């Protein structure tokens, strides 16, 4: 049986690496994209020209009804979702003094409300089938905080509270729920930071003295999605090069 893995925010950065890894392991890979993403078709065509066979569905992850419509379509077209990776996220960084309610809401809705909206659509089916994986992509800054990220840090910390509580509810049904908290990863967004800032401000915080690789995050997600990870649930796994240890 080929399992279905759905990765939100899969078009670029960590999400793309996760999609590629899961496809290499034989999953039916589905990702979501914002309905106003004008580059989604080109991305999908490029990936599938490379032989990945991804499917992509429009979904506003901040909207419950949109999430339901997306999962209903995936289930009808491909089959029920076995692995859900809640990866979609945005930033609106600024000091709390300058932060508006709109800046707060945008990040909370995209990074935290989306976890409820998407997970709610798939968790009952996983419980009924006695197998499922929910993997929430948080951040080192949800663990230690970050200057100018009260909204982002709050959302990412909230993801793990969600993880622990839901893990307790579904553990006896063969469903695991886990969080991963990456540090600074060499995505296009991070590598666009000026080199002098990377060298003087960011890399000195990381004991392994480098950025993480998207493929390293994808490898952890793949493990958590596997049968071998059945005894691991309710955890928050730090993958940050030693930047934050606790």
Q: Residue 176 is encoded by which pair of tokens? A: 């695991």
CA distances from 39 to 34, 127, 141, 184 (A): 10, 35, 29, 25
Give me the sheet containing 175-182, strands edge to edge.
55-58, 28-33, 4-7, 83-86, 132-137, 175-182, 236-239
- Please state, in angstroms and rounded to a whole number, the distance separating the CA atoms of residues 241 and 245: 9
Strand partners, 4: 28
The candidate with the shortest Cα–Cα distance to 93, out of 144, 153, 136, is: 153
23 close to 54: Cβ distance less than 8 angstroms? yes
Residue 197, classified by CB atoms within 10 Å of its CB into exposed (0-12), middle (13-18) or buried (19+), is exposed
Q: Which alpha helices (DSSP H) does 85-193 contain, by range? A: 101-108, 114-129, 140-144, 150-170, 188-191
**What is the SS3 assignment for 147?**
coil
Does the annotation mark 57 as catalytic? no
Residue in 27, 33, 152, 184 annotated catalytic: 152
Nearest to 88 by CA among 38, 140, 33, 143: 33
What residues are labeled active site?
152
């Amino acid at each position: 049986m080929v399992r279905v893995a759905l990765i939100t925010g899969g078009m670029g950065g960590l999400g793309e690496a996760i999609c590629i890894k899961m496809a290499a392991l034989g999953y039916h890979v589905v990702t979501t994209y914002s309905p106003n993403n004008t580059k989604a078709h080109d991305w999908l065509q490029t990936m599938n020209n490379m032989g990945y066979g991804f499917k992509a569905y429009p979904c506003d992850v901040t909207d419950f009804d949109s999430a339901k419509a997306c999962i209903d379509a995936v289930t009808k077209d491909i089959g029920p979702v076995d692995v859900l990776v809640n990866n979609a996220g945005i930033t609106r960084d600024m000091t709390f003094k300058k932060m508006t309610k709109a800046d707060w809401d945008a990040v909370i809705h995209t990074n935290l409300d989306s976890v409820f909206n998407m997970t709610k659509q798939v968790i009952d089916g996983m419980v009924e089938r006695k197998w499922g994986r929910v993997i929430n992509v948080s951040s080192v800054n949800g663990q230690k905080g970050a200057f100018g990220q009260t909204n982002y840090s709050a959302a990412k910390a909230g993801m793990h509270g969600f993880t622990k509580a839901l893990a307790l509810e579904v553990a006896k049904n063969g469903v695991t729920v886990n969080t991963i908290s990456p540090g600074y990863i060499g995505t296009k967004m991070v590598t666009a930071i000026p080199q002098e800032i990377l060298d003087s401000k960011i890399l000195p915080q990381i004991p392994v003295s480098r950025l993480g690789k998207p493929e390293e995050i994808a490898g952890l997600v793949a493990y958590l999605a596997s049968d071998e990870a059945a005894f691991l649930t309710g955890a928050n796994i730090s993958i940050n090069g030693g930047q934050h240890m606790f």
